[in-house]
Each structure stands twice: as structure tokens, then as C-alpha cells.
Amino acid sequence: MALLEVHDLRTHFHTRRGVVRAVDGVSFSLERGSTLGLVGESGCGKTVTALSIAGLVPRPPARIVSGGALLDGRELTALSERELEDVRGPEIGMVFQDPMSSLNPTLTIGAQICETLRRHLDLSAREARRRAVELLEEVRLPDAAQRLGDHPHVLSGGMRQRVMIALAIACRPKLLIADEPSTALDVTIQAQILDLLDDLRRQHGMAMILITHDMGVVAEVADEVAVMYAGQIVERAQTVELFDHPEHPYTEALLGALPALEGQVRREDRLATIPGRPPDLADPPAACRFAPRCPYAGGDGCTEAIPPLREIRPGHLVRSQHPASERASQKARL
Amino acid sequence: MIVRVAAMARSRPRLLAGLVLLAIAGLAALAGALGGADPFRTSETLLTAPSLDHPFGTDQLGRDVLTRVLHGVGTSLRVALLSALAGTLVATALGLVAGYAGGLLDDLLLKLAEVLQVIPAFLLALVAAAAFGPSLLLLVVILAVIFFPRTFRLARGEAIGLRERDFVQAARAAGAGPLRILRRHILPGALTIIVVNASFQAGTAVLIETGLSFLGVGDRDAVSLGAMLADAQSYLAQAWWMSLFPGLLVSVTILGMNLLGDGLNELREVRTVMPGRGE
Amino acid sequence: MLWYVARRLAGTVGLLVAVVVATFGLMHVAPGDVAQVLAGQSGDPQYLADLREQFSLDRSLGYQIGAYLLNVARGDLGFSVVQGQPVLDAIAGRLPATLLLAGTSLTIAWAGGVLLGVLAASRPGSRLDAGISIVSLVGYSIPVFWFGQLLVALLAVRLGWLPAGGMTSAGEQLGAFERVLDVARHLILPSVTLGTLLMALVIRTTRAAMLDVLGDDYVMAARGRGIREETVLLRHALRNALRPVITVITAELGVVLGVMVLVEAVFSWPGLGTLLLDSVLSRDTPTLVGLLLFSSFVVAAANLLGDLLYMWVDPRVRYT
């Protein structure tokens, strides 16, 4: 049985403008110890998906209208707030995007770590402090013992993110959700943080959902990739398979927009940008949401209904009427 | 149109409630001013309970409480509007200029505001009213002085915040003079918060005016709800209506002003609803 | 950090000096000369001459200000003929009663206000929140003396449960313990009246500050670690929301002094408020000036206290 099974998750926000369908039918599964990269541009719903799994979306105004997430067979969306508080920490750990604002500025690092430890584990104050130092050393924070007494604003962005990671893994969760963990950091630090996450994951046998808008990051770290667009998953495959044979026009565009990495053959001479903008998710039409920006969109199934997610090859799913392999064979037929 | 009002009522209850209450107060004041009844007319019917003849009863001198209440609301509204207006105009102008220009003028005015803020407002009003004699005009001046620090700092803060913004820099680069910049670029941005502040200060003005006349240092020529409450103090056992109606009307007026301020404040705030959208 | 404290202290002293100078300026501007203001109701020419001597009124203005500052620093605020004692003594005599009333009211206001404000913010949009918000809005909009009047009319006059005014019951010989109880009974209505008004302000500010802070990232991060909601509210959110709450709490010390007159008037409470009223009505100017100075000092001290509290609550402030 997979560790995490997200099935047809739909999270809608009731705002003054209407019902915003931020997550609209997302499904994927995650095996123990593996990493899923959840990719997409900002606003596509990847963060809301993560928050929905952890039960952190503010309800109201949000509501998980259908579907859910099974963690080790347990339906998370059916749990009460109290029960969720026991799940978060020991079973699910979260690393948030902005280390500058994700730590309480009025409490010391030590206070925040020990609080988490003593909340879920039965430790004395002294034991908790010792564990806290160990955790900080695990995340490779120099002068770990001194850091306990520091307040967050004294540390740099990279150091704060390490603290966040320490907090997330403190209770040895089975699942780690990292939402753009390196985006807000310097380029030089980004790689370090990603390496750290990967090492920790392997060490502790955690499964990880890595949320990012950066395909380069995903290529390094993820076993499987799910591409999200406008609240839906539009393609899902093993990482190598996806990079070698992208099917969905959006995925192709994302990869085309990637600056050439060393040793790779350049697809374009310039950085390709994707023209247009994502659709407004308040009452979207029942059609392919990428169609307005898709170079291959045709009158048939593209504007009449939402294309279903289908398995175009074993282990490779795509939500499109014009996946690359079908386009190629069409061209060949002409 | 009715649909619009209904929608607004549902989404902005405070604003609507505030406007309604202020409308009531305004109508009451108008009724008093135009009604023609004399609030000072005494009669033989002392301390009578509310009846058809005297819907709010009569006081210890046989005066009709309803008439007096209507006139009293008029007094309160007049004081509040005039003082809020005067205070806001002067303090805003000075605040915007000081915030934008900085320098010695700014330091001096700021120091003045600080000193004024240290003296409790009502005390200052009381002492000043006692010293310089209680007239409505004087009261307006005193209130304007009391309101100065808060409004000045608010306007100053807005000016400081806005003067570094891109569109102001652009205007300056285009050669616009400081007065023009203040008028066309800085003032509009600061306007809402200044109006909200003025609304709350109007409420405070009514509280202070009522309090002063309660203590006996208000304008004797004008009918004041505070003075009526002072009269009521001695007759609490026999004539509850002497306390209830003036107090009710003055509370409605102040509540209206505070609700208006709250409601306008709500309009200002636009909160992002969804997490992860603030990029 | 010590540097910060020293700076704030110096700032406060400077402010107080400015207030004294401003007060002196006010007296200078008022009708009659400064000595007459200081003498108040006394018409004694010898006393006037003495005052002129004491306050160096024949010397230059700078000297006068200096002399006045010196006298104030010594505690000499002049002599009140109306009260029949030095102004400072008159103030000191009435101070305990006001302290008692103010202290009780503020305790009710701060404790109840923060509690209800946090409660309202923890369930935004609920009926509990709406109820608390309405109550605080009304409490903030009703004249405090009318509220007091209503309470007296209902609870004292109509129902007779509590005394209608004063601090003690007249004409009774009571033992020490009974006297304390007696004062306590008299304290209830005025402190509830004043406390409710003050509490309304605290509720509004606390609720607004909490709602603001509850949207911050570290709150979600704490929830993401499974920290219990109560702990999130009190330990994470409230600590960061305290800044504006401290501002309003210390500001209330000034509000209390201003409003005290009205409350003491309604309940005939023998404190500084009634002293002020007497001074106003009897044109006892030295006492008036003394009370103005005294209350300004209290407000300045409260502001300083507030700044020191900021430091304790928000570690980032210590490093500015």
C-alpha cells in the first residue's frame, strides 16, 4: 500500500468574486521513501494541494468539497482538528517557502524546537534541549548549541531554512512536504538546501513531496514528477521519462523555458516563454484549461470538456487531447 | 437599487448601520431646528412620565424632554462636525507638509504633538473651558487642538510613506513642484485613513462636549444632552426618562460615528484570501 | 539594549521638562501675572510678593522658567487657599482613592479585554465574535457617566443592592475588616462602569492585532508542526500581537485620568477627579495647574513603561 494516496482532491474557496476552484481533481500516490516533484507556475494550486493534505487550509473560506488524502490508509480529510494536530509533526512534516517569516520572531530557536519536541514526544526539558542540538547538527547548522539561544532575526536566510527543516523532521515524520524550500534563498545556498533535504530523506526513509516551479530542481531530486496547471494535474511520470518524453504541451513549454544545462543539447536558441496567463479559477469553463495558450488546441475535445487523465504509456499519465506522441504519429501519417 | 442596498447591507453591515444611525441623529437635529418648539419653555407639569403630550416626559422645570433632546442632538452634531472639520483640515495640512518636507519644521511640530499628547484630552478640555469661558466656538477650537497630535501624526506618516513611492519620484523627476505633488499624489492616498480618523474623532468630540456640559462647564446658552444628564442625576429615583432618552440619543450619535469609521476602515482593507498567492 | 533604555529615559525627562515649560507658558498667557495664577483665590498681597520672590518673577523669562522647574522638582506646586494646604499635599491626600478606583478598573479592563479579544479573534466571524465585537463597540460609544447613571438607577436606586455613591458608608463605626468590605461594596459600581469602557478599547485593539498576526506565516508553520491551537493562540500569536495592545493599555492610563473626573462625579468618589472638579468650579488655579502637571507626568511615565514592555516582548526592539 502506498504511503500517501491523494484521490480526486477538490478544494474550493468561497470568495466575494465567486467560488475559486483552486484544486480541482488532483490524484497521485506516493510510496514510502520516494520523492514526488509537484511542478507548476505560481497560482496553479500546488501549495493549496499540500495544505489540503495537511489540513491547513483555512476553512472557511476554503472547503475540501470532495476527494481526500489517505495517509497509511487513514483518511486525513475526515479527521477533526484535534486529531490533525496529532498527525502533523510525527507523521507529516512541513517546510515552508519563506524562512524569513516562517519562524516566530519573538521566541528563540531553542524554544521553538523544544516546544515541538515536547509536544509530541515525552521528553524532559533537558532531553529536549539535547535533541534540539542534535537536530541542528543534523541540518548542518554551525555552532548548533549556541543557536538555541538565538532569535530568528539574527540568522541568515539559509540558516533559518535549516532550522525550519530541523523543525519539520524533529519528530521523524513519514512524509515531508517541502513547499518551494529553496526559492527564497540565494542561488549558492539553494543547492545546499536541496542536497540536505535529499540526504535527510534517504537517511530517515521519509517520503517527500517537493513543490516547486523550477524544473531544474525537480530533475535533480525527484523520482516522479506531477505537473500541475490551473488546479489540475496535467501530466505525471517518472522523472527521466518525463524529461526525455514530455507529452503535454505545457510540460514541453516548461522544459523549453529551461536554461540549457551543461552537456544538454539546446532545444531553442533563446529562453522560450509561454505566452498568455493561467485562467481565472473562479467558475472556470468545462474545457481544457490550457487550451487558450496551447499551440495545438483544436475545436474537438479541447473546448467541449475537460480532457481526462489517461495512461499514454505504462506509468505515464497525461491530460491532453494532443499529447506529443500522438502529434508525432499524426504528422507521420500526413 | 434596492438589490444593491441589500447586497451592501449583507457585506458591509457596519458601514450601513453607521449611516443609518447618523441619519437618525441628523433627522432628529433637523426636527429640533425646524420644529419650532421652545426647549427652554418651562411649565407646571413637572417630572411627568412619557405620555402622548410629552413622548419623552418632562423634567424638573416642566420642560418637554423630547424637544430638548432634539435640540441637544443638534448641538452635539454641530460641535462634532465643526471640530472634526477644523481639526482635520489644519492637522492634515500641517502633517502632510511636515512629513513630505521633513527638516526643522517637522521636528518642531512633532515635538509639539508629543507634548500635547501627554496631557489627557478631557483634562485639557476641562481646564481650558474653565479658564477661557464656555462657548461653542471655544469648544470647537479646544477640540481641534486636542485632535491635532493624532491627525498630524497620521498625515505625516502617510506623507513619509508615500513620498518614496515610485509615482511620486516620477512626478518629481518630471519637474512637479512640492505643492502640486502633495495635492495630486500624496493627498489622495492618505485620504481614506484621514477620513476614518476624522469619523472617530467626531465621536470623541461628542463624548467630550457631553462630558463638559455634564460637569457644568459647557455652553449655558445651548441645549446640551450632557447638561440634561446632569439634571437627571438628582432625579434618578423619580424620573428615569430624564436620563434614558438623552443618553440614548447621544449614544446613538456616537455609535453611528464609530460604526462609520469602522465601516470605512473595512473598505480600505483588502485581504488576500488564499495562501501561497502572495508572490 | 541598555543604550536603548537610557535613550528612552532621557527622552521622557525631556518631555516632562517640555510639559512644565508649556504649563508655565499657559500661566504666563492667562489673565493676570503668574503669581496671581499661583496664588489662586488668595488675595493676600504679602503672599503675592512672596510668590514673586520665590519664582523670580522680576527676573528674565529664562530665569522664571528655571525657577519654576526647580520648584516643581522640589515638589513645591504652590499653596491652595481653597483646599487650605499645599497643592502637593492636597493631591497626595486624594490620590489613594483614585488609585484604588483606577487600579481596580484597569485590572478588569486589561484582564477581561485581552481575554475576550483573543477569544473573539480565535473564532472570527462566529456569533461569539460578533457578540464580543458589538459589546465592545457599544461600550466604547456610550458616555461613561450615562452608563454609570444607568447602573446606579437600576442597581442602587431601584434594586438597592449596592450603594449609590461615595467611598464609605457615613456615620458608622466599623472594625478594620468591615471597613474594607464597606469600601469594596462602594467600589463595585464605579469600577465596573469605568472598567467596561476601558475594556471595550482593549478588546477592539487585541482582536484587531490578533487577527492581523494570525495571518502571519509562522502561525501556520506552528500549526503545521501540530502545536495545539490554544498554544498557537497564546504563545505564538498573542506574543506578537502585544505591541499595539501594550500601546493601548498604557494609553489607557491617560484615558483613565481624563475620564476619572466624570466617573468620580457620578459616584461622588472622593478622589483626584472630584478635586479637579472643585478646583475648576472654585477657580483654584494652583491646584488645577498642579493636577495638570501630575497627570502629564503619569502619562509620560506610562509611555516609558510601555516602551520598556515592548523590549521585553519583542526581542527585535532590543537591537535598534
* C-beta neighbour count of C302 within 10 angstroms: 19
pLDDT tens-digit series, residues A273-324: 677 777 878 777 778 888 878 877 776 678 888 888 888 888 899 988 888 8
Write out residues 171-200 of B within 8 Å (CB-CB) of C.
Answer: none
Residue-level pLDDT at A238: 93
* Interface mutation target, options B8, B12, B269, B274, chain A, most CBs of A under 10 Å: B274
User: Is residue A107 predicted with pLDDT exceeding 80?
Assistant: yes
Which helix H or strand E contains C93, and what residues bound it? helix C87-122
- Decide the pairing of beta strands A4-15 and A18-30: antiparallel
Interface size, chain B vs chain C, as Cβ–Cβ contacts under 8 Å: 117
Question: pLDDT at position B279, please?
Answer: 28
Rg (CA), chain B: 22
pLDDT at B135: 83
Render pLDDT for A151-189 as a digit per residue (tens, 0 to 9).
Answer: 998 999 889 999 999 999 999 999 999 999 888 888 888
CB contact under 8 A, B277 and A13: no
Judge: A179–B11 Cβ closer than 8 Å, yes or no.
no
Q: Specify whether the CB–CB gap between C261 and B122 falls below 8 A.
A: yes
Chain C CB contacts of B240 below 8 Å? 153
Distance to chain B for C6, nearest Cα, Å:
19
Contact C218 A104 (CB under 8 A): yes
pLDDT of residue B278: 32
Q: What is the model's pLDDT at position A334?
A: 52
Confidence of residue A239 (pLDDT cuts 50, 70, 90): very high
Question: Would you say residue A263 has pLDDT above 50?
Answer: no
pLDDT tens, residue by residue, B218-235:
888 888 999 999 999 888
What is the length of chain A? 334
Are C216 and A89 inside 8 Å of each other by CB?
no
CB contact, 8 Å: B270 with chain A? no
> Region C69-95: what's the mean pLDDT?
83
Judging contacts by C-beta atoms under 8 Å, the chain C residues touching residue B207 are: 143
Residues 56-115 of B with CB under 8 A from C: 111, 114-115
* Structure confidence at residue A254 (pLDDT): 84
Q: Does A51 touch chain B (CB under 8 A)?
A: yes
Flag whether pLDDT at A221 surpasses 80: yes
What's at C303, amino acid-wise? N
Smallest CA–CA distance, residue C27 to chain A, in Å, is 47
Alpha-carbon torsion C179, C181, C187, C191, what sign?
positive
Is C84 near chain A, with CB under 8 Å?
no
Q: What angle do CA A177, A179, A181 make, to 5 degrees?
A: 105
How close does chain B come to C177, measured CA to CA in Å? Answer: 31
- Collect all residues of chain B within an 8 Å Cβ-Cβ radius of residue A102: none
CB proximity under 8 Å: B 7-46 to A: 11
Find, in chain C, the residue whose alpha carbon is nearest to that of B125.
C258
> DSSP string spanning chain B?
-HHHHHHHHHH-HHHHHHHHHHHHHHHHHHHHHHH---TT---S--SPPP-SSSTT-B-TT--BHHHHHHHHHHHHHHHHHHHHHHHHHHHHHHHHHHHHH-HHHHHHHHHHHHHHHHS-HHHHHHHHHHHH---HHHHHHHHHHHHHHHHHHHHHHHHHHHHTSHHHHHHHHTT--HHHHIIIIIHHHHHHHHHHHHHHHHHHHHHHHHHHHHHT-S-SSS--HHHHHHHHHTTTTT-THHHHHHHHHHHHHHHHHHHHHHHHHHHH-----STT---
Pairwise CA distance, residues C288 & A215, whole Å: 75
Strands A207-212 and A18-30: unpaired
Residue B271: per-residue pLDDT: 40
For residue A43, give the nearest of B11, B273, B277 by CB distance. Answer: B277
Query: How far A332 CA sits from the closest chain B CA (Å)?
Result: 43
Residues in C 86-145 with any Cβ partner in B closer than 8 A? 137-138, 140-143, 145
Separation of CA C56 from chain center: 33
Average pLDDT over residues A54-70: 87
Parallel/antiparallel/unpaired status of strands A310-313 and A92-95: unpaired
Nearest to B163 by CA among B143, B142, B185: B185
Give the mean pLDDT of B170-192: 79
Chain B residue numbers with beta carbons less than 8 Å from the beta carbon of C255 are 120
The mean pLDDT value for A263-273 works out to 49
Name the grid cell of A164: 525550519
pLDDT tens-place string over residues C93-146: 999 999 999 999 999 999 999 999 999 999 888 899 999 999 999 998 999 999
Closest CB from C221, C229, C239 relative to A81: C229
Other CB atoms within 10 A of residue B189 CB: 15
Nearest Cα of chain B lies from the Cα of A166 at a distance, in angstroms, of 22
Could you give the CA distance from residue B145 to residue B124 in angstroms, rounded to a whole number? 10
Residue-wise DSSP of B132-190: H---HHHHHHHHHHHHHHHHHHHHHHHHHHHHTSHHHHHHHHTT--HHHHIIIIIHHHH
User: Would the CB atoms of A94 and C225 count as touching at under 8 Å?
Assistant: yes
Region C269-298: mean pLDDT is 86
Lowest-pLDDT range, B122-126, B155-159, B236-240, C174-178? C174-178
- Shortest Cα distance from C110 to chain A (angstroms)? 22
- The shortest C-alpha distance from B202 to chain C (Å) reads 11
- Work out the average pLDDT over B176-180: 77
Instruction: Look at residue B247 in the predicted model and tell me its pLDDT.
Output: 93
Answer whether residue A142 shows pLDDT above 50: yes
CB contact (8 A) between residue C227 and residue A116: yes
**Chain B residues with beta carbon closer than 8 angstroms to that of C189:** none
Judged against a pLDDT cut of 60, whether residue B270 lies above it is answered with no
CA-nearest of C188, B272, B1 to A58 is B272
C chain contacts of residue B199, beta-carbon cutoff 8 Å: none
- Neighboring chain B residues of C146 at a CB cutoff of 8 Å: 229, 243, 246-247, 250-251
- Angle at the Cα of C72 (from C71 to C78), degrees rounded to 5? 75
pLDDT (average), residues B254-266: 90
CA distance A15 to chain C (A): 14
From B237, B204, B197, select the one nearest B92 (Cα to Cα).
B197
Q: E strand or H helix at C95, and its extent?
A: helix C87-122
Confidence band (pLDDT; 50, 70, 90) for A331? low
User: CB-based contact (8 Å) between B2 and chain A?
Assistant: no
Distance CA C106, CA C256 (A): 8
Asked if A42 lies within 8 A of B279 by C-beta distance, the reply is yes
Residue B274 contacts A, CB cutoff 8 Å: yes
pLDDT at position B8: 67
Would you call C295 an interface residue with chain B, using a CB distance cutoff of 8 Å? yes
Quick one: average pLDDT of C215-222?
A: 92
The Cα of A87 is separated from the nearest Cα of chain C by a number of Å equal to 7
Domains and CATH numbers, chain B: 2-37+70-273 (1.10.3720.10)
Does A16 contact chain B (CB < 8 Å)? yes
Amino acid at A139: V
Q: Give the closest of C222, C229, C313 to A104, CB-based.
A: C222
Nearest CA in chain C to A154: C316
DSSP label of A294: -
What's the confidence (pLDDT) of residue A60? Answer: 74
Phi, psi of C80, deg, nearest 5: -105, 115
In C, which residues are within 8 Å of B149 by CB distance?
Answer: none
Predicted pLDDT at A332: 63
Sheet with strand A62-71: strands edge to edge: A18-30, A4-15, A62-71, A74-75
Work out the burial of residue B44: count CB atoms within 10 Å of its CB; fewer than 13 is exposed, 13-18 middle, 19 or more buried: exposed
